[in-house]
């Protein structure tokens, strides 16, 4: 098993935004048709706001992962070496992620969900008390519990599904570069 100790937050945010960009652009085009049909111009800004929040959210999520992984341990996976090659003077290695350790998924996701829920709960509690809205106060208490419990259940389920599918069809293949510890890859 190898452990994901740290995620580069900027590269994670860039990859995430570029991955979802086609869907965000589709949403922008749909909003554009609403505007052209006589809708409110602010609809156009929703797509841009989604891109910005996706980038910032992923960046912050990676930072939270790095903070928590250093304290509770990171995501663990079984990987196998596929090939080594020399490309433009660099040593590169392809690995295949055969399976994930479900306990590590649940542990790190539970810690991340707890951190995010705590931040949400504090804001909801403050705004609920200031506005005199008991529904926000109740939301601040109940929603983090629901978020953590359901998140842990679904993260374990997704890990199990990945392990099942990867065993049947093969896992995700990843190219590594730079210093590779030989004893960490099977």
136 and 172 co-located in one domain: yes
- Look up the domain containing 65 and give its range: 7-73
Which of 7-11, 46-50, 154-158, 162-166 shows the lowest per-residue confidence on average (mean pLDDT)?
Answer: 46-50
Task: Give the pLDDT score at 149.
Answer: 92
Task: Give the pLDDT score at 102.
Answer: 94
| Residue 12: pLDDT band with limits 50, 70, 90 | confident
Question: What Å distances lie between residue 52 and 16, 24, 59, 82, CA to CA?
Answer: 11, 11, 11, 37
Residue 151 has pLDDT above 60, yes or no: yes
pTM: 0.69
In whole angstroms, give the CA distance from residue 105 to residue 9: 19
Question: What Å distances lie between residue 158 and 1, 99, 142, CA to CA?
Answer: 19, 11, 24
In whole angstroms, give the CA distance from residue 101 to residue 103: 6
Domain count for the chain: 2
Q: Please, what is the average pLDDT of the chain? A: 82
Task: Give the pLDDT score at 72.
Answer: 87
67 and 80 co-located in one domain: no
Instruction: Look at residues 22, 41, 73 and tell me which one is the last residue of a structural domain.
Output: 73
Task: Give the pLDDT score at 156.
Answer: 94
164 and 135 co-located in one domain: yes
Q: Does residue 97 contact residue 75 with C-beta atoms inside 8 Å?
A: no
Residue 180 has pLDDT above 60, yes or no: no
Instruction: Look at residues 73, 91, 112 and tell me which one is the last residue of a structural domain.
Output: 73
Q: Give the rounded percent of residues in the chain with a pLDDT score beyond 70.
A: 87
Task: Give the pLDDT score at 137.
Answer: 82
């Amino acid at each position: 098993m190898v452990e994901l100790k740290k995620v580069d937050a900027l590269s994670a945010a860039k990859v995430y935004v570029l991955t979802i960009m086609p869907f965000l652009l589709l949403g922008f085009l749909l909003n554009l048709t609403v505007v052209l049909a006589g809708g409110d111009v602010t609809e156009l800004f929703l797509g841009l706001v989604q891109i910005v929040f996706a980038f910032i959210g992923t960046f912050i999520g990676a930072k939270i992962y790095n903070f928590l992984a250093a304290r509770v341990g990171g995501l663990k996976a079984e990987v196998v070496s596929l090939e080594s090659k020399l490309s433009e003077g660099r040593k590169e290695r392809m690995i295949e992620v055969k399976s994930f350790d479900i306990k590590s998924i649940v542990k790190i996701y539970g810690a991340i969900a707890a951190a995010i829920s705590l931040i949400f709960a504090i804001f909801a509690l403050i705004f609920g008390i200031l506005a005199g809205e008991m529904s926000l106060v109740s939301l601040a208490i109940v929603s983090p519990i629901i978020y953590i419990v359901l998140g842990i259940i679904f993260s374990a389920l997704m890990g199990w599904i990945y392990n099942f599918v990867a065993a049947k069809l093969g896992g995700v293949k990843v190219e590594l570069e730079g210093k590779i510890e030989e004893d960490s890859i099977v």
